[in-house]
Amino acid sequence: MSCPSRRVAPRGFTLVELLVVIAIIGTLVGLLLPAVQAAREAGRRSQCINNLKQISLANQNYHDANQSFPQTITWGPGWNDGGYDCYYFSDKVLLLPFLDQSGITRNLNPKEGGAYHPGWSGGNSLGLSGRLPIYNCPSNNNALNGGAANHTYSRNAGTPYNAPHTGAGSRAGWRNHNGMSATKRLFDWDQGGTPTIRIGDVSDGTSKTAFYSEFVIEQWNGNVTNDPKLWKTQVYSWADAAGTAATRQACLNQTGLNDAGGGRVMRGSSWSWNNFMCGSDYSHCMMPNEKSCHAFGDDWVNETLLAANSMHAGGVVVTMVDGSVQFVTDSVQNEVWWAYGTRKGAESSAPID
């Protein structure tokens, strides 16, 4: 007589085993997450590099068509609204036809105005209010005014003083900028201003002269003094001294914000308005990712001290006049950074990194 078979119930996980499995999964996720984030940032940085390369090449094509790089118009006292006349087009407007964006500018006249300038007088052109991907680094997701017309790329305005940068070199600035920013006031359209720049004027070499870099869109966080990430979003007040090195130190010593109340936070607010406060230009006085100061002189005439900075770890992306693009680390030597900021300074030719 056979004995009936006994069915043994399957054994489940014990609580300890379940906790071990959960801990292992958590460890794996913790190991993989930084790698995933790093891969995403690498992709964003690659797009940022490509954007700047396209902007530089658009400048080359503009030069071929016009025998010079874009000469843009800054702000100044005007008459259209009885106060400030802010309808001044940036280089980014003039470059649109060379970036497959000619539809935006088909009905615009750079000499008559219509740039998008949030927070100032009327006359904004809604056609210039879009946040164009080509003018924005995807690593920088800050937004001003809901993101309308925001941008993150600036043109090199040079250094505040000519070489020797560690001594009392002659003053640069309005009508004598030593970078790649050629700017006029509206009422100077046919006279005055910084002379038009041509490739032949870049005597230091097109591969050794910075053209554009990036910046972090400004945010109001109060006067933050203990968080380097938030420093990038701030603009401090005026700073000046005798020489580029001394002016940099004056900015580093500056403790007052340019806008102590947060009512006029502007850097990155408009790609079409040629006003360095909106981000049209940056200075090679300050090192990459250092503190930004408002200006070393007259903010009406583009004498900016805004630093190149980014949301990338350890440096900023810079495109040269020849169209090459480099990632420049925060540890770049001061003299090298200053040399790459001038187009005809005959300074050190050491490689930038």
Measure the CA–CA gap between 260 and 115, rounded to whole angstroms.
27
pLDDT at 81: 46
Q: Can you spell out the DSSP letters for 273-342? A: B--GGGTSEE-SSSPTTS--EEESS-GGGT-EEPPP--SSTTEEEEEETTS-EEEEETT--HHHHHHHH-
Domain boundaries, the chain: 16-341
Question: Would you state the structure tokens that stand for residue 167, as one six-digit string?
Answer: 């001594």
How far the first Cα of the chain sits from its last, in Å, is 89
Each residue's pLDDT tens digit, 232-275: 889 999 999 999 999 999 999 998 888 766 667 889 999 988 88
What is the four-CA torsion angle of 330, 336, 341, 344, rounded to 10 degrees? -170
Kind of pairing, strands 315-320 and 210-214? antiparallel
pTM score, two decimals?
A: 0.86
Measure the CA–CA gap between 92 and 110, rounded to whole angstroms.
11
* Model confidence band, residue 79 (pLDDT cutoffs 50, 70, 90): very low
Each residue's pLDDT tens digit, 317-343: 999 999 999 999 999 999 999 999 999
